[in-house]
Structure 1
């Protein structure tokens, strides 16, 4: 194949679907994966007709340990390699750590931490060999500010993605592989609908804090092309991230203790 291939996880909606459209608009073929096969097929048809690119769909649940390898095996069977990887799949797990089930937390970690790590590790050697690659790890503003009560591991996992992306960026300075952690704040998508926090979050946040998924993905694409290790979309989010760095840790934690319950169902 002459065209490069972008693999997007969590591609059926929101930021993932937006990334798929952006990569297709830049001439990439696509491999789209998510749990909902019907949504993937509709998106594949739309993108294929609009941009004339090949779109492969792979229904997979990244909570299953064998899913990352199975996805890449499927692509290999079609004679394709991954030139751009967008690790976007994710969700929130409401509740405090003690009241949630361990099995749910383990599944959360497989989707949010283990799967993106494995996918990146599996595709990176080929990228280095071909002297071209793009890896976008969709992290969050939550990974740049102190943790808060509820959704206990969400911020921790996103902080991991930020640090891992920074290290991968440094390790691949001379390889032609660009790595970026994209750290959006509140984004219009299905994220809060899926975890049941839509009404609470909507009531607690002003409209100017929100961004559209298309805008976030466009910023992420530009950032990885420019090889920026961390990208925070939107002026308000940049200000929040900068403020969190400047104030003492105990002040920041106290602020999260006061503000956090407005945003998280605990």
Structure 2
């Protein structure tokens, strides 16, 4: 029988690292993907030292269009199949879309949308065969328009919609699909995006480790969506109480005050 693995993208930092720890602690063999090989190796060594199987390390930049091919080749060479796919990798950029570098913004789409979609479709047959699951990292931003981070918010709206649709399509085939939608989480995300955590981070703050724990439990319980933290759970409900035009103005005013 072919060995099965949990494939985790963006595993070198933040929520991705914590997801790797949670899956490993629950007996999953891992395949870890990220750009920074040194961090992946350090994480693999850490997890292997705890007595589990040493993770497969796949240094790979998901901004590159051949990333899916490289990941698939590495898994084939290791003689493993994907049982669980964790599409965690993603990033955003703060600022007016017309003022930010166009190539960088297109790379948000490459990582947050194209790579996630590619890996989902590419490994769907294996997920079905192994009756596994998909965990996609969305965001509370996926419920909102996002002036000041327009491409990022739009990309997370795609993740939410795509995850729900794939859940419907794959459920009859025995594959569970869960999307986790945290609010601001203290991590390297803010540094790369180009802003400092503010009031929203203070009131919605949940640690990466807690996000990972709740996400894992949600996937195993076959939940449609996981919204970590007490306050974040009411945000989608509150959004239904206001016109979209009001929400757009409010988010725009809040985001653009950070500039």
1:171–1:206: structure 2 CA closer, same or farther, 3 Å change rule? Answer: closer
Structure 2 unaligned segments of length 5 or more: list them: none
| Structure 1 stretch displaced more, 56-65 or 186-195 | 186-195
Equivalent of residue 184 in structure 2, options 183, 186, 211: 186
Residue 15 in 1 paired to residue 15 in 2?
yes
Q: How many residues align?
A: 259
Give the C-alpha shift of residue 206 in structure 1. 5.8
List, as ranges, runs of 4+ consecutive aligned residues in structure 1 with deviation greater than 4 Å: none
SS in structure 2 of the partner of residue 18 of structure 1? helix
Deviation, 1:77, is 0.8
Aligned to 1:175: 173
CA distance in 1, matches of 2:102, 2:254: 27
Contact 1:3 1:27 (8 Å CA) reproduced: no
Structure 1 gap ranges (5+): none
Report the alpha carbon displacement of residue 148 of structure 1 after superposing the two structures with TM.
2.6
1:90 maps to what in 2? 90
Match of residue 231 from structure 1: 226
- The alpha carbon displacement at 1:106 in A equals 1.9
Question: After the TM superposition, which residues 176-215 of structure 1 pair with which residues of structure 2 at under 5 Å, given as runs?
Answer: 176-198=174-196, 201-202=197-198, 204-205=199-200, 207-215=202-210
Q: Distance in 2 between matches of 1:119 and 1:19?
A: 18
Is the contact between residue 24 and residue 51 of structure 1 (CA under 8 Å) also seen in structure 2? no
Alignment of 1:1-266 (within 5 A): 4-130=4-130, 132-145=131-144, 147-198=145-196, 201-202=197-198, 204-205=199-200, 207-262=202-257, 264-265=258-259
SS in 1 for 2:96: coil
| CA distance in structure 1 between the aligned counterparts of 2:2 and 2:119, rounded to whole angstroms | 23
Measured in 1, the distance between the counterparts of 2:93 and 2:24 equals: 31
Backbone CA RMSD of aligned residues = 1.6
Q: Distance in 2 between matches of 1:103 and 1:208?
A: 33
- Please report how far the alpha carbon of residue 3 of structure 1 lies from its aligned counterpart in structure 2 after TM superposition: 5.7
The separation in 2 between residues aligned to 1:91 and 1:149, in whole angstroms, is 16
Q: Helix, strand or coil for the counterpart of 1:255? A: helix
TM-score normalised per structure 2: 0.95
